[in-house]
């Protein structure tokens, strides 16, 4: 049989974060002690009341198909939760589609909204899957560069410059993966003012919206620009906030026509998300928030330990992120240095060196559209963060 694959596959790159994690796992299997700052996944257990709800659902025989777009009770819970968190802005259950994680929700949107040749504006640094999903459906990612000095936030002037007659959508992520940067209400309003003069979808990935620190006031663009409601699509889920990455429950909230389109696509792909996981998500949204407050406090402590360690011990330039659980330091000072006969030519080489020599897994910035940087997840305990920082310091001190 021919081994030729569909042409669309040639435009897609493997996930850099998963590749790093795989290599770290291989080293661990060989008995190497590796500290991983790679994958963005909370190290907390899913709260007990959520796990108990899943067990109870299983015991009651909840193992059958549900509605493709998710159980009505879950969609009701999503609408209520969103109204509470987004300044009273409301959606109906008909405007919700529950998918197999937020990544699946984004992929449904790519299939539903982008035609070949359409342009999708994506600020860099960006989550690695945004441009790849755009390319996979034949559309064109238009990357807007940002800077460390601007807090890795896109300016309204840069957005205006990127818009053409082919612009189909803008993808925002706030707080951001990989930088942890978040847009203030004023900054979102400035972007919305540009959007009002044009006609494109605004897709806002708010999967980290409840993980903000230091008094930062998280806002959705839907709150600051409700007049754009019929063009705004929110992507959210339980993975990060509730330590439920493996449960694979995410969703969109948006105009009814968009939800209907995603429902149709999902009906011909995965059908419904796992029934038991949907019961767990209901318990997450309707249950107590005490553990969430505790997790957020712990993340904040880790944020300071990671960033301050990178600055003071490793000598890296690293801004303090407003949210999520990532630090995004510059490693430009290491590029060009030597490890034996090997020259660290770029951030990818730096990440490989830190993994193979320092036994610390970080993700290079190039796949995020930010050469010269690396991403470190601080979704691990402070003891490991400090040990990892120490290993990075020792490994970089050996460079010449």
Give the pLDDT score at 4: 82
CATH fold for domain 7-45+291-397: 3.90.1150
Q: Tell me the DSSP string of 30-64.
A: TT---EE--S----SPPPHHHHHHHHHHHHTT--S
For 233, phi and psi rounded to 5 degrees? Answer: -125, 120
Which CATH architecture is the domain 64-286 placed in? 3-Layer(aba) Sandwich (3.40)
Give the pLDDT score at 346: 96
pTM given for the model: 0.96
Q: For 116-146, what is each residue's pLDDT tens digit?
A: 999 999 999 999 999 999 999 999 999 999 9
Sign of CA pseudo-dihedral 375, 381, 382, 386 = negative
Segment 350-372 mean pLDDT: 96
Give the pLDDT score at 15: 72
Environment class of 89 (CB within 10 Å of its CB; exposed 0-12, middle 13-18, buried 19+): middle
Segment 285-300 mean pLDDT: 97
8 confidence band (pLDDT: 50, 70, 90): confident
Sign of CA pseudo-dihedral 271, 272, 276, 280 = positive
Query: How many Cα atoms are found within 13 Å in the side-chain-facing hemisphere of 188?
Result: 25
Q: For 258-269, what is each residue's pLDDT tens digit?
A: 999 999 999 999
Q: Where are the domains of the chain?
A: 7-45+291-397, 64-286
- Between residues 16 and 148, the one the model is more confident about: 148
Radius of gyration of the chain (CA): 21
Segment 81-110 mean pLDDT: 98
Give the pLDDT score at 7: 85
Segment 307-319 mean pLDDT: 98
């Amino acid at each position: 049989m021919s081994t030729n694959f569909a042409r669309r596959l040639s435009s897609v790159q493997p996930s850099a974060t998963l590749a790093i994690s795989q290599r770290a796992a291989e080293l661990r299997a060989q008995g190497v002690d590796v500290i991983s700052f790679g994958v963005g996944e909370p190290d907390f257990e899913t709260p007990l009341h959520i796990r108990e709800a899943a067990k109870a659902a299983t015991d009651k025989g909840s193992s059958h198909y549900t509605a493709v777009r998710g159980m009505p009770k879950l969609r009701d819970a999503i609408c209520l939760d969103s109204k509470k968190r987004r300044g009273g802005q409301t959606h109906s259950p008909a405007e919700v589609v529950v998918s197999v994680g937020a990544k699946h929700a984004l992929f449904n949107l790519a299939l539903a909204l982008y035609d070949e040749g359409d342009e999708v504006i994506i600020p860099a640094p960006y989550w690695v899957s945004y441009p790849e999903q755009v390319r996979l459906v034949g559309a064109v990612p238009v990357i807007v560069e940002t800077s460390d000095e601007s807090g890795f936030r896109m300016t309204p002037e840069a957005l205006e410059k990127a818009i053409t007659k082919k612009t189909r959508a803008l993808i925002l992520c706030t707080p951001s993966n990989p930088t942890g940067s978040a847009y203030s209400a004023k900054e979102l309003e400035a972007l919305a003012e540009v959007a009002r003069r044009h006609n494109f979808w605004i897709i806002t990935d708010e999967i980290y919206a409840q993980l903000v620190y230091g008094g930062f006031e998280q806002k959705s663009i839907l709150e600051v620009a409700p007049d754009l409601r019929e063009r705004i699509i929110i992507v959210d889920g339980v993975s990060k906030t509730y330590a439920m990455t493996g449960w694979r429950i995410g969703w969109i909230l948006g105009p009814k026509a968009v939800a209907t389109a995603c429902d149709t696509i999902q009906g011909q792909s995965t059908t419904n998300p796992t029934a038991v996981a949907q019961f767990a998500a209901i318990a997450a949204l309707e249950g107590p928030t005490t553990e969430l407050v505790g997790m957020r406090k712990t993340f904040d402590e880790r944020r300071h330990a990671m960033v301050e360690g990178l600055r003071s011990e490793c000598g890296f330039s690293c801004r303090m992120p407003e949210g999520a659980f990532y630090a995004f330091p510059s490693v430009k000072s290491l590029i060009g240095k030597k490890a034996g006969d090997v020259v660290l030519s770029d951030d990818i080489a730096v990440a490989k060196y830190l993994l193979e020599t320092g036994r610390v897994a970080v993700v290079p910035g190039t796949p995020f559209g930010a050469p010269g940087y690396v991403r470190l997840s601080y979704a691990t305990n402070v003891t490991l963060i400090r040990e990892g920082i120490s290993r990075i310091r020792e490994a970089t001190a050996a460079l010449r």
